Each structure stands twice: as C-alpha cells, then as structure tokens.
Structure 1
C-alpha cells in the first residue's frame, strides 16, 4: 500500500507520465471536457472534492513551472487568485480568456482532472517544469539564464 501522496491510482499514474511543458487542467464540476481527452473524474458531489484540495495535492507531486487561469479569476474571484499565488509561489502566472480555457487549452491538456468544485472560473492549468537544482546544479553544468535565478 502506498504510504502518502495521491492514492487515486489513475491520477497518480497520470501524473507520473508528465514531462516538461506538459499541461494538466484541474477543472470544476461543469467543465466541458473534450470527448477524446484523458479525463480523470474525481467528482462525487458538490465541492467533493473541492478545487483547492486537489490542486494542493497535485502541487506536492509535480513541479509546476506555470499556472494559467481565466482572466475572470483575477477580477471576479480574487480569493482564488490569491490562493493560487500562495500555493504556486515559484510559478509564472498567465491568463487566457474563459473561452480559451474551455476550448484551446482543453484540447492541449495531456490530462484533465474533474473535481466536484462549484467555484466560479475554477479551471486551472498547470504547466509542468523541472526541478532546476537537481537538473542544473551538478559540477561543471552551466544553467541557462532563464533558470539561473532558480538555483
């Protein structure tokens, strides 16, 4: 039996397949997931599980280099935006239109994780990164400028 971390076999396995720049979408209960997407449905009931719990657990399992959310989050759900900045403090943040989140990014995602969240604009994209000190911290390795600040 696994001692800690994500116990859901499908989610744990999907996270293990991710590489640098892969996109994971963690979405609310109403997100229109494309038919051919790798869908992991965790939703049981309203807010079960909630968005923040799932994002927090995933943040412990993968390196997140970038976070993307709908532009509406910054203006219409600022508490979620504040929480995201606190949880993914080392990530680069970007916004997209709500339509892009539901369309273009949904088709780009390697994995889409559906929560039971009833949270306005509760659809968050996580771009995978690398553990910079482990990859570029070796003797004689010169890190590129865009990673140097993370050493």
Structure 2
C-alpha cells in the first residue's frame, strides 16, 4: 500500500500517463464535461474535497507549463489558489462561448472533479517536462 503521494488509484494512473503537452483539468463540482472525456470524480459532498486541497496534492507530482482559466476568475480566490501553488503562465478565456473555457475542456485527457463550490474554480493545465 502506498504511504504518500496520490493514493487514489484512478488519479495516480491518469497522472502517470501524462506526457509533455498533454492537457488535463481540475474542476469545481459543477463544470460540464463533454462525453468521452474521463472524469476522475473525487467529489464526496459540496466542498469536499476543496479545489485547493487537490491542487496541494498535485503540486509535488507534476511539471506544468501553462494554465488556462476563465476570465471571470481573474482577481478571484480561485486564481490565487492556482498562482500560489504553480509557477505557470496563466492565460484567460471567457467561461462560456465558442472559444471559452467550457469548450476547451474537450481537449483534455481527463478532468479531476473536486467538491469545490467557489465560482470559476477550474483550471486547464498543460504538462511540461523536467529537463
């Protein structure tokens, strides 16, 4: 049995399969996900686990290049949760619309669904490499 790191088997497997330039999402509990995209559903109840708790667990495990968030998240607490944990260049698009965040989710390998209820607590990360 693992004693540290990511203990959720589905999440650990998905993270181990990430390669350079792959995309994945960490989302609040309400983000719509298009059919065919794997959802790793960590949500137990509203607020459990928190978006920031999942970011904390992911931070030591990954090398990331960029993050994409909704423009509506700029200046909000969800943006600070991402900025405080990851030294990535953040880009912004509208939450809705043909080029919006919800539409961009279709490019992700998987979505990690948290129990977060804070508006716009969603980020699309692009993986980097450690060399």
Into which bin does the TM-score normalised by the smaller protein fall?
A: over 0.9
Q: Is the 8 A contact 2:40 2:113 kept in 1?
A: yes
2:94 pairs with 93, 97, 101, which one?
A: 97
CA distance in 2, matches of 1:84, 1:122: 9
- Where structure 2 has 5 or more consecutive residues not aligned to the other structure, the ranges are none
From the CA coordinates, give the structure whose radius of gyration is larger. Answer: 1
CA distance in 2, matches of 1:82, 1:36: 30
CA distance in 1, matches of 2:30, 2:81: 21
Task: Name the residue aligned to 2:50.
Answer: 50
Residues 64-83 of structure 1 aligned to structure 2 (within 5 Å): 64-75=64-75, 77=76, 79-83=77-81
Task: Name the residue aligned to 1:86.
Answer: 84
After the TM superposition, which parts of structure 1 deviate over 3 Å for at least 4 consecutive aligned residues? Answer: none
- Where structure 1 has 5 or more consecutive residues not aligned to the other structure, the ranges are 133-151
What root-mean-square deviation, in Å, do the aligned CA atoms of Structure 1 and Structure 2 show?
1.1
Structure whose residues are more often helix by fraction:
1
Quote how far apart the aligned CAs of 1:82 are. 2.4
Residues 108-119 of structure 1 aligned to structure 2 (within 5 Å): 108-119=107-118
* CA shift digits 1:85-125 (9 cap, x unpaired): 22112x1111111022111x211001101111001101111
TM-score where L is the length of structure 1: 0.81
* CA shift digits 1:11-38 (9 cap, x unpaired): 0000000001111101111111112111
CA distance in 1, matches of 2:28, 2:81: 16
TM-score where L is the length of structure 2: 0.92
* CA shift digits 1:56-87 (9 cap, x unpaired): 21121111111111011114x2x322232221
Aligned residue pairs total 128
